[in-house]
Structure 1
Amino acid sequence: MSDHLPEGIISEILKRLPVKSVIRCCLVCRSWKSLIESSTHLSRKVQSNNQNDPHFLLVNPPLNWCFWDVGDYINIENPCLYLTESIFPKGERLVVKNFNVVGTCNGLVCFAFDFAYYGCIAVIWNPCIRKYVTLPKRRVSNPKGGSDFNIASYAFGYDSRTKDYKVLRTVSDFGGETEIWSLATGNWKILRAPMPKDFPRHGDNVRYAYVNGAVHWVHHRRRGRRHKAIVDTAIVLFDMASELFREMMMMPEDLRGKHCHISRYMESIGLFTGTDLESFGTIDVDMWVMRDYGAVESWTKLFTIRLEGPQLQPFGFKKNGNEAVFKMSGGRVLTVDLKTKKVGEFAINNEYEYYGFLDCFAESLALLGHVKSF
């Protein structure tokens, strides 16, 4: 049948299919496989069509610290797991002491393991099509003589101008250096752009929000002399297209100087703050959102809610912006309805008891043309 259909019509049909159906179409014939793998326009259209299909990516750190025993994603409306396999075959699995889920972007997941003593490993993975890319050795080395902890921070995003995925790596201790990896070139590049003073340190604890082509951090700045310094709070960003840092905006007066958790909120950003978010017991959590991205005056406090611990940690907001999601120690994942303040439990039918990472997730064909798979 494909011999009688113009390529343009075949392409239009494929654009309307779910990602998994498009993958199966690669087996129809060589011409279809070539069309699917080579057409960036087709890939973007399929990705766009799947943006509204609600999924969460869930990552579970196993007790034996086996790095690659992670990576389930579920359909929110029908929460049954349909991916429970390791990224690599058994002969290629890596066993490490710790790992960091950097983030997700357009159906790709970025992992990084970066310790001063053990070295650096970073991977970008598409769990839907089972393709991955291992990043080459970084150019900026960790300081010699450093201790056995993570001193590098990572961020993952997309440059819409060049249609390229990029990984940012910053080493903020001992002078501060920054480098960026590009999927298009496959190489690291050292950036000469100045890093903000007092930039957040230590990758495992640095939270960011990727919104509108830029990575956003909460930035605590010290002003004045050492013993009389005033801590001010702002939001800084790194633009994936220009590859430059800049200060985005000041925080609301009520939040300046406070420790906040930043998260994506629809097409803007949101903030969580409380007395001690990761303490045991009852805590009060304030939730703020920027209604109009980039407009300081649009900061709005949604409400304050009292939640029972232990060790509350905000995961962020659902894609529709109607619910906030929190993680508790012991495995509970709670949701808070932003309109009714009703607290519910996010039910997941699986074998794991604890999730270290949760994010909105959309299936895509990104990395389809790459060789490495599992």
Structure 2
Amino acid sequence: MAQITKETDKQFPEDILFEVVSRLPAKSVGRFTTVSKSWYAFIRSPAFIASHLNRSIARNVDGDSSLYLLYMSNNLGEHSICTVLCDNMVSFDEVHEVELPMDFESKTCRLVGSCNGLVCLTDDHCAFHGRIMYVWNPLLRKFKCIIGTCCCNRLYKKFTEVSVGFWYDGAKSDYKLIRIMHFEKLDFAGCVKEQYHVEVYSLNAGYWRKIDDAKLPGIIKYSHQSAFVDGALIWRAGYSLGSEIDTDFILSFDTRSELFQRMEFPDFQEYRSTQEVPYLVVYKGCLAFFVAPDCGAIGSAVWSIWVMKKFGVVESWVKEYSEETPGKALWPLGFTKNNEILIDTSHGGIIAFNFETKQTKILNIYSYNNCWINYTESLVFLEEKNELVENRSSLEGHRTSIKEENASG
């Protein structure tokens, strides 16, 4: 490619530059904003950013190696490092490392989700989970800090369960978050009554909106296990029976109607006969779950993947795979575009199992307490001028106000 200069935009019409530059990698395009004021303007325009993102997503579908796997340790030290791996058809080469520009109160974090090059994170500790949420673009090293509403109400006890989710609303070109807070209220007879507080945050609007009269058919049991399928956020849920939670089912939140719905797991024997839990995943655009019955930490293990072929239809559950791999399979980390599943195992390593070749590959990556997501680089946030934070010092005011609120609550 010829060297780009300040005179380049005088030699080519803007529509041609738009078409050419929108096909280039996001990292390269970001540098081109320094070419000239006109380049700076059209690259930062919402139309260009959307076009570039759509082309990047299309290349991922067509098999181009522009999709990445992003992983980081759940337990953060002094230097919080996030590693980006290239999800190509052969290996998982390290592309680069990015230091997290935000702090977490408990020094632990959780990846809530990722879409369109944005990553959502929150504190993993139950006392801080969902209290502060960050929407971060690792490529641009910019993020938004989103403070949740008060987690304590003088009329009630503190919220006992907080679950969060993150998605893109394509109809409104908006990124949204949800917080689901469960609490117990004592009625006049002294009986415990379960109640919920559900609110949605819009990045476009910049504030939280409560969903009035939200009706949940159960309690989210494993908030770290979530999926996004067919416009719905998915969690594992159950009923509260005294001081314990029992009866597994799937809780979905339709992001378009903002209604909750219960869906059932299939009655599969290998799960019902063990204490192992199903891990919700998305496989080829369908809701699925991974289950590995406990067979000890030594030797091989058989695990299964069930797929809901038609979303919301219990009868469409199909046992798609039942495979055997070395070591006990603990939980799935995700899927690659090479039709592989990444599995964390009992020996602390990660294996990649290929569904087509039936071959198992051991990755040279230590997996203890790691968080993994699929990630696509994008220029989202490049056009933003306000409310972006780029260093830790800018968060001190947020954390101070939260500490004061918790102390007074």
Q: TM-score range by the shorter chain?
A: 0.7 to 0.9
Query: Matches of 2:329 and 2:290 in 1, distance apart?
Result: 14
Contact 1:330 1:354 in 2 (8 A): no
What one-letter code is carried by the residue in structure 2 that aligns with 1:291?
A: K
CA distance in 2, matches of 1:217, 1:289: 15
Change (3 A) 1:235 1:97: same
From 338, 349, 354, the equivalent of 1:337 is 354
Please list the CA deviations of residues 258-302 of structure 1 after superposition, one character each: whole Å capped at 9, or x if unmatched. 83111011211211123249x744543221123344554442212
1:284 is the counterpart of 2:302: yes
> What is the aligned partner in structure 2 of residue 130 from structure 1?
141
Q: Which of 84, 94, 114 is residue 81 of structure 1 equivalent to?
A: 94
C-alpha distance in 2 between matches for 1:213 and 1:364: 21
Q: For residue 45 of structure 1, what is the aligned residue in structure 2?
A: 51
Q: Secondary structure of the residue that 2:50 maps to in structure 1?
A: helix
Distance 2:302 2:153 in 1: 40
Distance 2:31 2:106 in 1: 35
Structure 2: how far apart are the matches of 1:57 and 1:130?
14
Which residue of structure 1 lines up, in the alignment, with residue 232 of structure 2? 214
The alignment's C-alpha RMSD in Å is: 3.2
Partner of 1:244: 259
Please report how far the alpha carbon of residue 310 of structure 1 lies from its aligned counterpart in structure 2 after TM superposition: 5.2
Counterpart pick for 1:367 among 377, 381, 402: 381
Residues 1:200 and 2:206 aligned together: no
Change (3 A) 1:111 1:362: same
**Residue 239 (structure 1) shift:** 2.3
2:216 is aligned with 1:189: no
- TM-score, normalised to structure 1, is 0.82
Instruction: Indicate the SS of the match to 1:71.
Output: strand
What whole-Å deviation, never above 9, does each CA across 1:92-127 have from its counterpart, x for those lacking one? 755534322111112111111275655822111111
Asked if structure 2 preserves the Cα contact closer than 8 Å seen for 1:116 and 1:146, the reply is: no
Change (3 A) 1:173 1:150: closer
1:12 aligned partner, one-letter code: E
Which of 172, 183, 193 pairs up with 2:182? 172
- Other structure's SS at 1:141 match: coil
Q: What residue in structure 2 maps to residue 112 of structure 1?
A: 122
Structure 1 or 2, whichever has the larger Rg, is 2
2:222–2:236 CA contact under 8 A, matched in 1 = no
Q: What is the distance in 1 between the residues matched to 2:286 and 2:213?
A: 25
Q: What letter corresponds to residue 169 of structure 1 in structure 2?
A: R
| TM-score, length-scaled by structure 2 | 0.76
User: For residues 353 and 340 of structure 1, do their structure 2 counterparts lie closer, same or farther at Cα, with a shift above 3 Å needed?
Assistant: closer
Per-residue deviation, 1:37: 1.5
Q: Distance in 2 between matches of 1:275 and 1:143?
A: 41
Residue 307 (structure 1) shift: 4.0
Matched with 1:153 is 163
Q: Which moved more, 1:308-317 or 1:97-106?
A: 308-317
Q: Alignment partner for residue 100 of structure 1, among 99, 110, 115?
A: 110
8 A contact 1:19–1:364 mirrored in 2? yes
- Distance, in Å, in 2 between the alignment partners of 1:186 and 1:218 is 29
| Alignment partner, residue 187 of structure 2 | none
The aligned residue for residue 18 of structure 1 is 25
Q: Helix, strand or coil: the match of 1:312?
A: strand
Q: 1:58 to 1:347 in 2, by over 3 A?
A: same
Q: Bigger CA drift: 323-332 or 255-264?
A: 255-264
| Residues 102 and 46 (structure 1), Cα distance of their counterparts in 2 relative to 1, 3 Å cut | same
Displacement after TM superposition at 1:218 (Å)? 2.9
The letter for the 1-side match of 2:167 is G
Separation of aligned partners in 1, 2:225 and 2:16? 44
- Measured in 2, the distance between the counterparts of 1:111 and 1:150 equals 20
| Structure having the larger proportion of residues in strand | 2
In 2, distance between residues paired with 1:182 and 1:358?
Answer: 25
The 8 Å contact of residues 319 and 360 in structure 1, kept in 2 or not, is answered as no
Distance 2:94 2:107 in 1: 27
Does structure 1 residue 58 correspond to structure 2 residue 71?
Answer: yes
Structure 1 counterpart of 2:99, which letter?
Answer: S
